[in-house]
Amino acid sequence: MIEIRNLKKSFGDLLVWEDVSFDIEDGETVAIIGRSGCGKSVLVKHLNALMYPDSGEVIIDGENVFDLEYVALRKMRQRFGVLFQGSALFDSLNTFENIAFPLRYFTDYSEGDITKKVEEALGLVNLEGTGEKSPAELSGGMRRRVALARATILEPDFLIYDEPTSGLDPRTSSEINKLIISMAENLNITSIVVTHDIHSVLEIAEKVVFLENQGMCWYGTVGEMRKSDNKELMDFITASEYQIRN
Amino acid sequence: MEALEKLGKYSLLLYRSLRSLYEVDTYKKNLVNELLKIGYESVPIVLLTGVFTGAVMTIQTAYQLEIAFVPISIIGAITSESLLIELAAVITSLVLAGKVGARIATELGTMRVSEQIDALESMGFNSVSFLVLPRVLAGLIMFPMLYIFASISGIVGGIVAGAISGAIPPAEFIQGARQFFYPWDVTFGILKAFVFGYVITSVSCFKGYYASGGAEGVGNSTTQATVLSCIYVLLADFVLAAVFL
């Protein structure tokens, strides 16, 4: 379980958000939504202490991640898989090596076991036979899927998706959404999804955190979101639907 | 204030590098790669720089001593002494600040802005141990070796240029070089190369590791890495000369 308590973050004089508090239960999928630039990606980078807040806590299974020493922090980070917005695949490695990378450094698997695991992971994201391709030879959607295979190869407890469908066509977006659902179900992973795509939220999420006005404006289940009378949240959802219709 | 903040960040980065020296498994593969890139791949440009520096030095020294009543073997002495004590280390390092420094800053800068460094950290990697330490170590190891190559090629260049131009026969060049040879000059040159290797790789790593702002930011970091490396090499050269000579 991840408990976020009274987080506040600013860059110099610019306040990003403050007083952000919510819980993420084991096995659930939480979407963090909000307009561009509201600090969604900044917020999730606090979950595994890639960024530190001005104040507040992120407690994972009873431990505040910001209090951890670097060695313990690195161990904790291994419990997370992260799918970055731009995929963040290593340019110098091919698809196979990108996925095998964490296995080579963090496990004692033999070369045969690594090959088997990577092929399984490629199969899971429907990319069989692409191991030899370099990241530059892959489309945007394929890169996301390779990054997803890499993020899940060590079987993490938590998986962070930073804008997993942004810049993708609707069909590829839908494929990625299905993958997120199947990852959560098959691997029993707790998922945190940063997005501004309200249709993705309705498809994949159980709970929603809405960031607006430099803080957490709304937090609840998807069912509650549909009935909510929160003006900012409704404006955000309506704007998304309007964009799709036009 | 900003300069102090940068100095603090730079010191912290190097402290984190040093602290991860024991994580050999994390950086050994990258260290081998960097030894090849900084060392082996720089040999041609270092030899070329050395040969031409030695050749020009010989011809210019001969020109300046044309009317002086000194034995011509002094040309060999001046050329080899200048190469060993100053030129081989400084000129080579200024050339490598462009070649090695720019490559390091661009590589790390691109990894930073495309979130590859965040990806490493999020996997539980020590990105400093993985990326910064092997580059700095490779610089410390390879720059003194490149200095030796530059010195030898410079002296050979001087001998050949002296012979071709008729300024000094090879035997007299060698006689002059041997007459005024002090082993301390080589030790001092190696020490300089060691310091310059550290300056160039650490400054370039710092600039690349903390790059921001997309392609333009990487470009700026690369430019700053190259310019600052050159400036710090010259400053370090002065400090070393003032302290040790």
pLDDT in tens, A142-167: 998 899 999 999 989 999 999 888 87
Instruction: Indicate the residue of A70, A82, A90 with minimum beta-carbon distance to B122.
Output: A82
CATH of domain A1-79+160-246: 3.40.50.300
Q: Determine the average pLDDT of the residues in A85-96.
A: 92
- Predicted confidence (pLDDT) per residue in A184-212, tens digit: 888 889 999 999 888 888 889 999 999 99
Q: Which residues of A touch B22 (CB under 8 A)?
A: none
**Maximum mean pLDDT: which of B1-5, B34-38, B176-180:** B34-38
Structure tokens at A216: 């957490």
CB contact under 8 Å between A88 and B118, yes or no, is yes
Task: Tell me the C-alpha distance between A31 and A16, whole Å.
Answer: 18
Residue B3's pLDDT band, with cuts at 50, 70 and 90, is confident
Q: Determine the average pLDDT of the residues in A63-84.
A: 93
Give me the percent of chain B exceeding a pLDDT of 70. Answer: 100
Task: Tell me the C-alpha distance between B122 and B154, whole Å.
Answer: 48
* Max CA separation in chain A (angstroms): 56
Instruction: Report the range of poorest mean pLDDT among A92-106, A183-197, B31-45, B110-124.
Output: A183-197
Is some CB atom of chain B closer than 8 A to the CB atom of A70?
Answer: yes
Q: What is the pLDDT of residue B81?
A: 94
Q: Which one of B108, B115, B117, B131 makes the best mutation probe of the A interface by having the most chain A beta carbons within 10 Å?
A: B115
Q: Which residues of A touch B23 (CB under 8 A)?
A: none
Contact A153, A106 (CB under 8 A): no
Checking if the pLDDT of A246 tops 80, the result is no
Contacts 24+ apart (CB under 8 A), B24-27: B25/A105, B26/A105, B26/B125, B26/B126, B26/B129, B26/B130, B27/B129, B27/B130, B27/B133, B27/B134, B27/B137
Q: Which residues of A touch B122 (CB under 8 A)?
A: 48, 50, 77, 80, 82
Instruction: Indicate the residue of B25, B114, B119 with minimum beta-carbon distance to A82.
Output: B119
Looking at CA atoms only, how far is residue B217 from chain A in angstroms? 17
Q: Which residues of A touch B25 (CB under 8 A)?
A: 105
Nearest chain B residue to A159, by CA: B122
Write the burial class of residue A12 (CB in 10 Å: 0-12 exposed, 13-18 middle, 19+ buried): exposed
The residues, any chain, with a CB within 8 Å of residue A99's CB and separated by 6 or more, are A118, A121, A122, A146, A149, A150, A153
Q: What is the pLDDT of residue A165?
A: 84
Residue A245's pLDDT band, with cuts at 50, 70 and 90, is low
Nearest residue to A162 (alpha-carbon basis) of A79, A85, A89, A49: A85
Locate tokens 């092929």: which residue? A119
CB contact under 8 Å between A78 and B118, yes or no, is no
CB contact under 8 Å between B119 and A88, yes or no, is yes
Domain residue spans of chain A: 1-79+160-246, 87-155
B interface with A, Cβ–Cβ below 8 Å: 25-26, 110, 114-116, 118-119, 121-126
Give me the percent of chain A exceeding a pLDDT of 70. Answer: 97
Checking if the pLDDT of A243 tops 70, the result is no
Q: Determine the average pLDDT of the residues in B218-227.
A: 96
- Using alpha carbons only, give the angle B145, B147, B149 rounded to the nearest 5 degrees: 75
Cross-strand pairs, A218: A210
Query: What one-letter code names the amino acid at A88?
Result: A
CB contact under 8 Å between B118 and A91, yes or no, is no
Mean pLDDT of chain B: 94
Q: Which residues of A touch B214 (CB under 8 A)?
A: none
